[in-house]
Amino acid sequence: MKPLRVCAVARKEFIHIIRDPRSLGMAIAIPMLLLILFGYALTLDVDEVPMVVWDQSESRTSRELVSRFSGSDYFSLTGYARNYREVEWSIDSGRALVALIIPTDFAGRIESGRSAPVQLIVDGSDSNTATIAMGYADTVIQTYSQDIAVDAVQKLGGRALRTPLELRPRVWFNADMESKNYIIPGLIAVIMMVIAALLTSLTVAREWERGTMEQLISTPVKGHELILGKLLPYFVIGMFDVLLAVLMGEFLFRVPLRGSVVLLFSMAAFFLTGALSLGMVISIVTKSQLLASQMALVMTFLPAFLLSGFMYAISNMPKPIQGITYLIPARYFVALLKGIYLKGVGLEILATEAGFLAIFAAAMLALANVKFKKKLE
């Protein structure tokens, strides 16, 4: 391999990128735009759940219960209902996700020391949000019930109630329990996988469609030199994208980066090499820009988004699907990014993921060299 030839091919590709604003925009602007859109729009935090109340008791006790919900950060009181028809309309129209129905004899039951059932109607169209909302409501009810029991004992002159067990939770790595702290690192992996493969999926196919491949074949440039020269410009742009994404995560989304920056960019280099080489393989095989871009999107976005552990826990997937995830390189990069960002761990913990990522990069680069034939077919 002669570095001069590689540099010549890389220079040619750089000039093409600079002269084509669309390619440059896809390489830099689109990843940043996707990170902003997904970073702000994609959230798993559930707060200010819209709620409607039908208070049939209309007593001080029932108003105290309603105030526990409205005073919480997790519920937002949107109005009151006077019958089940209005409750149904509120949920059907999307005005409320949950409805709290307090019976007529609520205050009497509480004051006499009896249990007082209250009804919570939840819109189960979004099962995940509904489950979380029910958990919030259960916490509010349990806290209110405990306060009533303590007050009743104190009024009777008894000793203060003490619960036999006291849970003292402590959250590690994401103490604020904000979903953006683990969504943003995963987004970096997914976006870079898609963009990297899309960029290089057009390179060789473009040469064939424009008829310039014949000129490259007639030159002394060897196949592996041509591939490496075409990869280098996009690798530099990809690493620049990673730098921008890290800076956006730090200063725009305020996601803490607790681990090694050097390790992060080292792993990003392996991941980019593999993703760019995968796009190159697609471009070599298809020889069509349209088909190559479509294949790159299907082979990168859906697997990276669904099977990498970015959105859905791999442990919750069916066993056959869990086996397939081992073939998804984004799985290892997502795990690496989350470990570096949130836990601040190094290769002593992430060595396995780093090893698989290195194997992926080497395998894709070797496959691109094997598939590319410097001859007309």
Q: CA–CA separation, 91 vs 186, rounded Å?
A: 34
Map residue 192 onto helix, strand or coil: helix
Collapsed DSSP state (helix, strand, coil) of residue 48? coil
- How far from 362 is each of 191, 270, 274, 356, 358, CA to CA, in Å? 21, 9, 7, 10, 6
Which three-class secondary structure state does DSSP give residue 120? strand
State the pLDDT at residue 158: 56
Report residue 121 as tokens: 């109607």
Going from N- to C-terminal start, the domains of the chain cover 3-43+178-371, 49-155
Report how far residue 311's alpha carbon sits from residue 322's, in angstroms, rounded to the nearest whole number. Answer: 14
pLDDT tens digits, one per residue of 257-287: 999 999 999 999 999 999 999 988 988 888 8
Q: How many angstroms separate the Cα of 245 from the Cα of each of 6, 35, 186, 277? A: 28, 8, 11, 21
Buried b (16+ CB within 10 A) or exposed e, 134-160: eebbeebbeebeeebeeeeeeeeeeee
Q: What is the pLDDT of residue 97?
A: 93
Burial (Cβ within 10 Å: 0-12, 13-18, ≥19) of residue 373: exposed
Q: How is domain 49-155 classified at the CATH fold level? A: abc type-2 transporter like fold (3.40.1710)
Contact present, 48 and 55 (Cβ < 8 Å): no
Q: Are the beta carbons of 68 and 136 closer than 8 angstroms?
A: no
Segments of the chain scoring below 50 in pLDDT? none
pTM of the model: 0.81
Q: What is the rounded distance in angstroms from the CA atom of residue 74 to the CA atom of residue 199?
A: 43
- Provide the pLDDT for residue 316: 84
How much is the pLDDT for 18? 80
Measuring CA to CA, how many Å separate 91 from each of 21, 50, 358, 377? 48, 10, 51, 64
